[in-house]
Amino acid sequence: GNSVTQMEGPVTLSEEAFLTINCTYTATGYPSLFWYVQYPGEGLQLLLKATKADDKGSNKGFEATYRKETTSFHLEKGSVQVSDSAVYFCALSDVGDDKIIFGKGTRLHILP
C-alpha cells in the first residue's frame, strides 16, 4: 500500500540555519505530494504541493522538489525563523484515491 516516511524529530536549529526535513514515499501510481504545517493549537495548513515529477513547490521561503527517481519530496528552507517552529507533515494523494496519507510529522524548534 501507499506510505510516507519522514525523518523523526524533534529537529532543533538556531535562527537563520538551513533546514532540511526528509520525506520519502511509496505509491502504486503517480501521486500528488504535499507538505502541511501545524502550529500549536491549530489545524494543519497546506504549506506547498507538487503534482508531477520534477515539479517544485514553494511557499514562505520553503521549497520541495518532487523526485520520482528517488521517490522523495524533501522540505528545505535557507534561513529559518523562530516563527517556523511547528510540526511539519509530508503527505501524498494517489490517483483516484480519496485517502490522503500522512507521514508521522516532524517537530521543528527554532532557537533565537
Partner 1 sequence: DTAVSQTPKYLVTQMGNDKSIKCEQNLGHDTMYWYKQDSKKFLKIMFSYNNKELIINETVPNRFSPKSPDKAHLNLHINSLELGDSAVYFCATRGADYSPLHFGNGTRLTVT
Binding site for partner 1 (CB under 8 A): 32, 34, 36, 38, 41-46, 49, 51, 87, 89, 93, 95-96, 98-100, 102, 104-105, 107
> How near is the Cβ of 26 to partner 1 at its closest, in Å?
17
* 85 close to 110: Cβ distance less than 8 angstroms: yes
* 106 close to 8: Cβ distance less than 8 angstroms: yes
> How near is the Cβ of 66 to partner 1 at its closest, in Å?
13
Select 74 or 93, whichever has its Cβ closest to partner 1.
Answer: 93
User: How are beta strands 3-6 and 23-26 bridged, if at all?
Assistant: antiparallel
> How near is the Cβ of 103 to partner 1 at its closest, in Å?
9
Select 24 or 38, whichever has its Cβ closest to partner 1.
Answer: 38
Select 77 or 93, whichever has its Cβ closest to partner 1.
Answer: 93
E-state strands within the chain: 3-6, 11-14, 19-21, 23-26, 32-38, 44-50, 56-59, 62-65, 75-77, 86-93, 100-102, 106-111
> How near is the Cβ of 61 to partner 1 at its closest, in Å?
19
